[in-house]
Structure 1
Amino acid sequence: MAASPTKIAELDNQYSDDRVLRRYLERVLPSEMRADVESDLHDLGALAGGELYDLQLKDRGNDPTLTRYGPQGDRIDHVELTELWQRGLEETASRGVIAAAYEQEHGRYSRIDQFARAYLLLPGTDMLGFLLATTDGAARTLLNHGSEDLVDEALPHLLSRSPDTFWTSGQWRTEKEGGTDLSQIETTAHRNADGTWRLHGHKWFTSSTTANMALVLARTEDVADDGLTLFHVPIRESGSESPHDGIQVNRMKDKMGARKLPVSEVELDGAVARPVSGVGEGTRTLGPMVRIARTWNAVLATGLMRRGLALARDFSRNREAFGTPIIEKPLHYDTMASLQATFEGAFHLTFRLVELLGKQEAGEMSEQERHLFSVLTPLVKLTTAKQATNVLGEIMEAFGGGGYVEDTGVPMLLRNAYALPLWEGTTNVMALTALQKLRQDGRFAAVRAELARCEQAVETPALEQAVETAQGAFRNAMEWLAEALEDGSDAVEAGARRFALTLGHALELALLARHAQWTLPTDGSRATAVVEHFAAQGIDHIAPRRHYEAYLLANDHASQSLFGPSAPTTNGTVKETASE
């Protein structure tokens, strides 16, 4: 298909054109269920590759706007969303992108149904997924921990399939000191004599003030433990242009990417609030929200990689260099093959996490799967986020100079991807979190069992070798950890990222091999080729490095003693933002 004069590349139906998604659904979904959802996915794929893609390019230069004062000088703090986001919210509701997970029409497969829809929709909506993640997380948090009256009030709106009644929810945790260390939260909650609560403080980075509600962490006085409570805060009524009293939007954030996400600085000056659960139980209550947000992050990462590859493929088929399409050039197609393999590894790792989330919510998760789910959540988030930035950087290069030109939409993909390693925990924070999870009873055994499950599913020599490579990387990582623990906490922390990425990539390789065995009858040599291309990139990142020398290099002190830094040490752990 030739590209139109206004586009650098064309897109086909994004469901029909996605062999990876279709083959995966053929393998994991019961045939009756797949037949039931396929029509919806096909329609969504047509929208994503057609009308929504056109609107995305048309809306490319628009950002949400803040009007702080009305014509009479009154404070209105009205945020106007762009046309693309307004359309995206309508499609989210009508196509059940949130609701499908909670209607439980397909039991433990309901999350697969939901995230297949999200995976198709999100690449064309410029990071709408961040707001949908907090909305989804709010729904699960209220179901798990909310009072009956709060659930009855909010849940029908959060799960509505009607754009007129659909609500979104923000998540307001981050303050000036950062978002990972919750002990730094300074927003306070005061209980009035009549039992009502009011919040006072400054939220430096809020996911959205255009949402109808938010879940907000605040510090409650005279409470044991960390003193944090999670509150439900109504932001605005449906159709209202201004937030409720006590909520002021100081400014919109001028961000590198995710520009259509109306991230704001918010002042809370007596905002009405209700505790979601018990007072002082805020950290524990956050668990479902954090897990779901990290899952959405991975789905966003895989969707963006898939979109970039689809555009680059079409471009390379229609762009000629020295008399032939560039897709016929050996170096180009070898590069594209490696990017495709990376995407497929990320896809199968992400949807393995989605499978476990669905089993948990359906009450069908075993103890070993519960341990695996706990470890996979941070591992999948950090692994796929880093892969998305790397893949989309290469995708930009695949277009040559055109990939650097804003009106093609390609730079936007890369900028958006760079939000993924930052949101809900940076790569380093996720690495320490994963390490912390793995050191709990049963977690290492769960990862080992997952690799063994993949080993048992393969019987082709090339695929058996791939799983053995994955198991070898896992064993090497375990040996490194044992040695690092003997050396002390600094050595453990210094190698945590390499350790986590080794485990993430090892799991991707094993899952790719397992899926390839199933697809061999239909895909032939392509099934093993993707596994071999992934393995060839290297999955074992464990290497002997002395952490004190890393300290010297990082600080670049010319006069620093070679006998090691006189630097403060840590205990090699982070305080997780929520109980999992």
Structure 2
Amino acid sequence: MAPHGFLQDPPALGNQLTEDDFLVSLLRRLVPADALDDALPDLEHFGWEVATTIKQLGQQAEREAPTLQQYDAWGARTDTVVTSPAWRELKAVSAREGLVAAAYERRHGVHSRLLQVAKLYCFGASSGLFNCPLAMTDGAARLCELLLEKQGQDAAATQQQQELAAALQDAFRHLTSRDAKLFWTSGQWMTERGGGSDVVGGTETEALAEDPSHTAPGSWFRLHGYKWFTSAADGEISMALARERSASGTANSGSTGRGLTLFLVPVTRDADGRPQGFEVVRLKDKLGTRQLPTAELRLAGMRALKVSPAGRGVPAIAAMVNITRLHNSAAAASFMRRITALAQDYARRRAAFGSLLIHQPLAQRTLGWLHLHTAASLALTLEVAHLQGLLECGGASAEAGHMLRLLTPLAKLFTAKEAVAVVSEGIEFFGGQGYIEGTHLPIILRDAQVLPIWEGTTSVLSLDVLRVLGGSPQAAATFLRQCSARIAAASKAAQTAGGSGSSGAQAPLQQACMALQRSLPGVGSRLEAAVAAPTSPAAQVEARQLAFALARLFVGVLLAEHAAWSGEEEHTLLASEWCQECLAAEGAATSSRLQAEAQAQLHTARVLSGADSALPQPRARY
């Protein structure tokens, strides 16, 4: 046989929206019909762009990694970060598509943030990592918005405060623009050589006031220090933390020895392109995210606008970090969806041992597992986006506020770890081809590995969960009350749909609800212990287990709730399979039980893998 007879067709992609039935179904439950009908045409058009043009730009950005030109031909220092034309086009696409702007235009009211995140979810895996600067840009925009709201409440604003408001308004206008020529991206300059997680203990950058008599928010300072890890080094502005110091080297009035202040930093160059007040020392050589210009910067008198009270920089960035964590969750779900979609397509092309993979039970089981964990992460991400939208539009109740504070770190830590596991399993599904660079598949795994690290590692986020529980004890009670109420509603819906018996399509949902109900007391006991002593060694050593237990339980609740709403077999099986895998206790392994379970798993695998349905056309080769 000719050599080419052994070749397999590469996997392909279709419309990233219309082929994701679970995404569309979640949106139909969460978004009113009129708002969704208005948004869907744009999402559908974008879904195909993501699978074709945008995907190609992302792959080009990977091939043409950023470089640093430190000197010109005459020896003058320029520190120019050179990026791919594709990277710059991805910035223009992001502006035109409103990937930041949509959340602030509020065209769809409280659902604007949710619909924006749905678009980011489609975009992420094709974006060539441009979703990273978008995350920081969105976080900076949210911070500007909140600071402007606070300024607007001060009827007796000083001239300095008015100038601060004008600067914030100008930054907000650029950060949320749909005009590619006006659109700015923002960096976050937090991490220093002392470490990233302990921001307060690791920050050595100092801020000196230009005019010692003017040190209130709205004053200009000069920053001196070393920022060890700055993503999106080609951004127009950044948010940076520094310690305020007087000319004599002592802490300024109102600042503390450990307190940090937040500054808005314009990234400026002179007419010859020379950086003003900073040097780009080098670009980072990283495991993944190679498309993204990440740099070490030396700040040497860089001009910066003080935007927080002295020593209150860390609390000020909380709103910004919450947005970037939401973006991280959307990126995780996007990577998971990409590898799952590719594996589902490949299974229809790859023949082994006499049949296509899609017709083989164990392959179906693997594909079903990939789909299950992708759906779980998407459901949790969209729930957080929904709550964030309520908060931003003034529609969040006190209970919704508690849930948002608790779920934001939970969603980030859970989806990030899920992404690494799912993408790794997906790569394995392709066998040796999954390990070959020319397939572009290894890129997904390399890039996914950053997700548990950026915006707080799993352990740091677990400690954040403890801080939420310690600072707002009512958050634990709210979580348990929400879970209990939602489980009861889903169980009632399943019983109504299934009649008086427990047979039929709703029986697995009833079983899932019972498993969820059985899990509540154990989770409640863990929460009670954490609330009682959130800073104790026992609570800290248990923090990761607690966080994952909360996340797994709540994901089960969301899947059961959605299955009860839709009544579709696939959604019911998602809820049932999740509860069996993550919540159910092991029983006696009798022969009849194992046989019955195997038959049930075979049916579930066929449904969740999509083996009984054809993938829609057209498709674009990966």
The normalised TM-score by structure 2 is 0.82
Tell me the secondary structure at the aligned position of residue 351 of structure 1: helix
What does 1:308-347 correspond to in 2, within 5 Å? Answer: 308-347=339-378
Aligned partners of 1:60 and 1:407 also within 8 Å: no
Aligned to 1:532: 576
Q: Give the CA deviation at 1:367.
A: 0.6
Aligned to 2:196: 179
Aligned partners of 1:304 and 1:417 also within 8 Å: yes
Tell me the secondary structure at the aligned position of residue 210 of structure 1: coil
Tell me the secondary structure at the aligned position of residue 226 of structure 2: strand
Tell me, in whole angstroms, the C-alpha distance in 1 between the residues paired with 2:111 and 2:508: 31
Aligned partners of 1:123 and 1:307 also within 8 Å: yes
Q: Is the aligned partner of 1:34 residue 2:36?
A: yes
Aligned partners of 1:131 and 1:208 also within 8 Å: yes
Tell me, in whole angstroms, the C-alpha distance in 1 between the residues paired with 2:135 and 2:397: 26
What does 1:359-508 correspond to in 2, within 5 Å? Answer: 359-439=390-470, 440-458=472-490, 459-460=493-494, 461-480=507-526, 482=528, 489-508=536-555
Q: Is the aligned partner of 1:266 residue 2:297?
A: yes
Tell me, in whole angstroms, the C-alpha distance in 2 between the residues paired with 1:434 and 1:112: 23
Aligned partners of 1:170 and 1:207 also within 8 Å: yes
Number of matched residues?
533
Identity, % of aligned positions: 35
Tell me, in whole angstroms, the C-alpha distance in 2 between the residues paired with 1:158 and 1:268: 23
Tell me the secondary structure at the aligned position of residue 55 of structure 2: helix
Tell me, in whole angstroms, the C-alpha distance in 2 between the residues paired with 1:240 and 1:321: 62
CA offsets per residue over residues 282-305 of structure 1, 9 Å max, x none?
Answer: 112111111101111100000110
Q: Give the CA deviation at 1:75.
A: 1.0
Aligned to 1:193: 211
Tell me the secondary structure at the aligned position of residue 300 of structure 2: strand
Select the residue among 252, 262, 266 that pairs with 1:234: 266
Tell me the secondary structure at the aligned position of residue 257 of structure 1: coil
Tell me the secondary structure at the aligned position of residue 161 of structure 1: coil
Q: Is the aligned partner of 1:162 residue 2:194?
A: no
Tell me, in whole angstroms, the C-alpha distance in 1 between the residues paired with 2:44 and 2:132: 24
Tell me the secondary structure at the aligned position of residue 163 of structure 1: coil
Q: Which amino acid aligns with 1:229?
A: T
Q: Give the CA deviation at 1:276.
A: 1.4
The 3 A distance-change label for structure 1 pair 240 and 294 is: farther
CA offsets per residue over residues 189-226 of structure 1, 9 Å max, x none?
Answer: 00123743100000000122200000000001233444
Aligned partners of 1:108 and 1:362 also within 8 Å: yes
Tell me, in whole angstroms, the C-alpha distance in 1 between the residues paired with 2:429 and 2:61: 24
Tell me, in whole angstroms, the C-alpha distance in 2 between the residues paired with 1:367 and 1:172: 32
Q: Give the CA deviation at 1:478.
A: 3.0
Tell me, in whole angstroms, the C-alpha distance in 1 between the residues paired with 2:134 and 2:457: 20
Aligned partners of 2:8 and 2:350 also within 8 Å: no
The 3 A distance-change label for structure 1 pair 512 and 61 is: same
Tell me, in whole angstroms, the C-alpha distance in 2 between the residues paired with 1:354 and 1:368: 16
Q: Give the CA deviation at 1:475.
A: 2.2
The 3 A distance-change label for structure 1 pair 98 and 488 is: closer
Aligned partners of 1:463 and 1:513 also within 8 Å: yes
CA offsets per residue over residues 426-451 of structure 1, 9 Å max, x none?
Answer: 00111111122123321111111221
Aligned to 1:210: 234
The 3 A distance-change label for structure 1 pair 9 and 262 is: same
Q: Which amino acid aligns with 1:165?
A: L
Aligned partners of 1:60 and 1:409 also within 8 Å: no
Q: Give the CA deviation at 1:50.
A: 1.4
Aligned to 1:517: 564
Select the residue among 55, 58, 65 that pairs with 1:56: 58
Q: Which amino acid aligns with 2:550?
A: L
Aligned partners of 2:511 and 2:576 also within 8 Å: no
Q: Give the CA deviation at 1:134.
A: 0.6
Tell me, in whole angstroms, the C-alpha distance in 2 between the residues paired with 1:269 and 1:139: 26
The 3 A distance-change label for structure 1 pair 139 and 483 is: closer
Aligned to 2:217: none
Worse-matched range after superposition: 436-445 or 132-141: 436-445
CA offsets per residue over residues 421-475 of structure 1, 9 Å max, x none?
Answer: 0011100111111122123321111111221342243122432432342343342
Tell me, in whole angstroms, the C-alpha distance in 2 between the residues paired with 1:118 and 1:527: 23
Tell me, in whole angstroms, the C-alpha distance in 2 between the residues paired with 1:6 and 1:462: 38
Q: Give the CA deviation at 1:39.
A: 1.0
Tell me the secondary structure at the aligned position of residue 396 of structure 2: coil
Q: Which amino acid aligns with 2:582?
A: G
Q: Which amino acid aligns with 1:371?
A: H
Worse-matched range after superposition: 436-445 or 505-514: 436-445
Q: Is the aligned partner of 1:96 residue 2:94?
A: no
Tell me, in whole angstroms, the C-alpha distance in 2 between the residues paired with 1:536 and 1:456: 18
Aligned to 1:569: none
* Ranges in structure 1 where 5+ consecutive residues have no aligned partner: 542-580
Tell me, in whole angstroms, the C-alpha distance in 2 between the residues paired with 1:242 and 1:437: 45
CA offsets per residue over residues 336-377 of structure 1, 9 Å max, x none?
Answer: 111211111111111000000000000011111111111111
The 3 A distance-change label for structure 1 pair 337 and 243 is: farther
CA offsets per residue over residues 241-275 of structure 1, 9 Å max, x none?
Answer: 94641111000000101111111000000000101
The 3 A distance-change label for structure 1 pair 281 and 71 is: same
Tell me, in whole angstroms, the C-alpha distance in 2 between the residues paired with 1:38 and 1:187: 46
Tell me, in whole angstroms, the C-alpha distance in 1 between the residues paired with 2:140 and 2:85: 25
Q: Give the CA deviation at 1:540.
A: 7.7
Q: Is the aligned partner of 1:257 residue 2:259?
A: no
Aligned partners of 2:228 and 2:295 also within 8 Å: yes
Q: Give the CA deviation at 1:535.
A: 1.9
Q: Is the aligned partner of 1:77 residue 2:79?
A: yes
Tell me, in whole angstroms, the C-alpha distance in 2 between the residues paired with 1:515 and 1:145: 37
Tell me the secondary structure at the aligned position of residue 193 of structure 1: coil
* Ranges in structure 2 where 5+ consecutive residues have no aligned partner: 1-6, 149-163, 215-219, 245-250, 495-506, 586-622
Q: Is the aligned partner of 1:296 residue 2:314?
A: no
Aligned to 2:619: none
Q: Give the CA deviation at 1:8.
A: 2.9
Tell me, in whole angstroms, the C-alpha distance in 1 between the residues paired with 2:467 and 2:169: 37
The 3 A distance-change label for structure 1 pair 15 and 504 is: same
Aligned partners of 2:515 and 2:584 also within 8 Å: no
Tell me the secondary structure at the aligned position of residue 537 of structure 1: helix
Tell me, in whole angstroms, the C-alpha distance in 2 between the residues paired with 1:302 and 1:326: 24
The 3 A distance-change label for structure 1 pair 58 and 171 is: closer
The normalised TM-score by structure 1 is 0.88
The 3 A distance-change label for structure 1 pair 481 and 152 is: closer
Tell me, in whole angstroms, the C-alpha distance in 2 between the residues paired with 1:407 and 1:246: 41
Q: Give the CA deviation at 1:55.
A: 3.5
Q: Which amino acid aligns with 1:465?
A: Q
Aligned to 1:562: none
Aligned partners of 2:78 and 2:275 also within 8 Å: no
Q: Which amino acid aligns with 2:29?
A: R
Tell me the secondary structure at the aligned position of residue 421 of structure 1: coil
Tell me, in whole angstroms, the C-alpha distance in 1 between the residues paired with 2:307 and 2:27: 36
Select the residue among 20, 23, 32 that pairs with 2:22: 20
Tell me the secondary structure at the aligned position of residue 254 of structure 1: coil
